[in-house]
A and B are shown apart, each in its own frame.
Chain A
Amino acid sequence: MLRLKSTRTALCALGALLAGSVLSSAQAGGTLTIATVNNGDMIVMRQLSTEFEKAHPDIHLNWVTLEENVLRQRVTTDIAMKTGQFDVVTIGNYEVPIWAKQGWLTEIKPDDAYDMNDILPSVREGLSAKGKLYALPFYAESVITYYRKDLFQKAGLTMPEQPTYDQIRQFADKITDKPNQVYGICLRGKPGWGENMAYISSLANTFGAQWFDMSWKPTLTSDAWKATLNWYVSALKADGPPGATSNGFNENLALFASGHCGIWIDSTVAGGLLFDPKQSQVANTVGFAPAPKGPYGKGPTWLWSWSLAVPVSSHQSADAQAFIAWATSKDYVKLVAERKGWVAAPPGTRASTYAAPEYLKAAPFASFVLNAIKTADPNGPTAQPRPYTGAQFVAIPEFQSIGTQVGQTVAATLSDQMTVDQALTSAQASITRALRQSGRAR
């Protein structure tokens, strides 16, 4: 009898537990849910957001930090199914025009106090579709060359004001000291449209290559693409670190910061991290130069911005717009400078940041970043006319899968599973198939 009683008690407890779990999930009212990634600038925004809440006591901010790819998937699902879980989403300039055309984003209309003309034109254009603005930039990045001044000095080398890829290769050969784990060059090798293919797309542009011709026919078997990939593969094989196919942005950052790379060509956002002695062992010896130029010497380079947008599924669009206007304003930049120091100011978005003498003093790489962003030219011409925009990506929805697939093929060349010619032929065939399936090409 006692056992029977205890069984019933257990069942009651179970019911209470489930009821409790329902109660624990009750949603709060007047809350903005913000989906973001775990980048340093976002963490600062989250810390300082209490100031926004103080100024708007009726708005409570609820933060959801997700891994980059999970964030894309969650936000896509949320918007496509009109769930309305997120009021503000952090997305890149790849997604903004595509999602805007799908009707997934709310048009952003900040008030007159928001100095729109202060935002760098190339960044602003990347967040617009059909003349309307769909996101505000939180920070932006382009591509520059990082190098070790001490290693250059030791090898009797001088970094030119505008290096070429031929020179970079020669420098890398001279710096490489594999017995002491010093590798002349570190480049992204991890497969992915936002990893190795971001760098390779930018490299291809300056080598005179491009993804598609005007009839959306892939051009990966062109001589320019062969030259691009031959340079990339031979440089990494001769002077790169072992296991380069595992190295993305963070892995190369770790290698450079711990003194294992002589040259690293990557996103400008690493400047602040490499310059910070808490995170970098080479803070005193890191040098900066513009991204190298290839045989073509022109073409779009690289432009990425992490931006804040409001999905159409949000039920609190006005409050959400007020928040993103605050987080991307000049006043916010000043607030960061005040609380965290000028070096922590979100880079790459506002001309006023680069006009502040305090910022230029605190961030010696600032002028390189500004120049790289101004000349990124994502909508500019490639060697041959092209039907798409984008610098280190192709601004079409298919690019995520195409880029990742080609990225895997390129990685296979680094690990000697196929030759450059085989990789490009295979990539050409798979892209042709993908574009036919999507109906973009016949």
Chain B
Amino acid sequence: MALKTKTSTRIGVTILGWGIALWLFFPIFWMILTSFKSEVQAISTPPKLFFMPTLSSYTEVFERANYWHFALNTVIVSVGATAVAIALAVPAAYSMAFMPSKRTRGTLLWMLSTRMLPPVGVLVPIYILARNTHLLDTCTGLAIVDMLTNLPIIVWMLYTFFREVPAPILEAGRMDGATRWQETTMVLLPLALPGIASTALLSLILCWNEAFWSLNLTSSHAAPLTAFIASFSSPEGLFFGKLSAASTLAVAPILVFGWISQKQLVRGLTFGAVK
């Protein structure tokens, strides 16, 4: 009887899990499906699930814009912002996790509170700063803004992972004569690697999908894939097929990357640094 209940619970949970997964994936599935429709099929009511697929939207997207230019900018900005953010967040999280003061918690909360401000609230000062430092429409400018935007979350995540590393392990390293640098790079970072990897991946995804600053601080030279997608929206004319094709092309790399690294991501997010 108990076995039967256990089996039915397992089946129920499996069905629920698949249901939620399909529900979450449905918009992406519909976007991909629409990208293979003609513009008339894309707007047909009721929506068509079965149709003769066409690559016309993709052809037009490639004809109209240089996808690779936008993709390269996205890679440069995302990787650059993530690398700098991790490089700054590791020492910050280290000091907060292993040398806390009475102001550590307050500092952490203050850092997180900056995320609660709507970005448009600081658009004008950031725009003026970017203009005066000649960083408008540059990958460096966008990467700095993305890095600063994500830094609070990255510090918080790394702080949480570092806190799970037992202090005696670091102490043992010190006893063996390791310097602070060696203690961090040879003991702490290898132990917290799954956590750092999942944090970096999250930062990469956030930078990849960031649209507000991309649309406001870049125009052509440094425009990333989010600007590429936005350029296919039209005030007058049908554009859903082309917009879906552009969106599919924009999310495809990060989707594949996320898929490949999901094991690492889940392990990092659920188990912490030390099992």
Report A's interface with B, CB cutoff 8 A: 3-4, 7, 11, 14, 17-18, 20-22, 24-27, 33, 35, 37-40, 43, 46, 62-68, 70, 73-74, 77, 81, 83, 85-86, 181, 194, 249-250, 253-255, 257-258, 260, 267, 269-270, 273, 278-281
Contacts and interface: CB of A to CB of B under 8 A. Distances in A.
A25 B216 contact: no
Contacts of A70: 215, 230
Contact of B137 (A25, A40, A65): A25
A77 B64 CA distance: 26
A66 B230 CA distance: 6
A39 B236 contact: yes
A20 B231 contact: no
B84 A24 contact: no
Interface string B65-87: 10000001100110110011001
Given A24-B73, A85-B136, A273-B238, A254 B222 contact: no
B232 A64 contact: no
Contact of A65 (B76, B131, B186, B231): B231
14 contacts: A14-B84, A17-B80, A18-B80, A21-B138, A24-B76, A24-B138, A24-B139, A26-B221, A38-B237, A38-B239, A66-B215, A66-B227, A83-B136, A280-B40
Given A25-B222, A33-B220, A43-B64, A250 B237 contact: yes
Given A38-B231, A250-B236, A273-B238, A86 B219 contact: yes
B145 interface: no
Contacts of A278: 38-40
B43 interface: yes
A67 B233 contact: yes
B238 A39 contact: no
A254 B239 CA distance: 10
A37 B139 contact: no
Contact of B235 (A20, A37, A62): A37
Given A74-B216, A74-B219, A81-B131, A37 B234 contact: yes
A74 B45 CA distance: 35
A-B CB proximity, top 10 nearest:
A25-B138, A21-B139, A254-B43, A65-B231, A38-B234, A68-B235, A67-B233, A64-B219, A14-B83, A21-B76
B195 to A, nearest CB: 17
B261 interface: no
B43 A257 contact: yes
A373 to B, nearest CB: 16
A184 B72 CA distance: 49
Contacts of B231: 38, 65-67
B171 to A, nearest CB: 20
Given A33-B220, A85-B136, A258-B45, A17 B79 contact: yes
Contacts of A270: 236
A3 B186 contact: yes
Contacts of B127: 77, 81
Contact of B234 (A21, A39, A73, A280): A39
B209 interface: no
Given A83-B131, A255-B45, A280-B40, A24 B221 contact: yes
A255 B124 CA distance: 40
A50 B155 CA distance: 49
Nearest to A35: B219
A86 B238 CA distance: 27
Contacts of A260: 45
A94 to B, nearest CB: 13
A281 B216 contact: no
A269 B65 CA distance: 24
A413 B41 CA distance: 32
Contacts of A273: 237-238
A81 B128 contact: yes
B200 interface: no
A116 B183 CA distance: 76
A181 B84 CA distance: 55
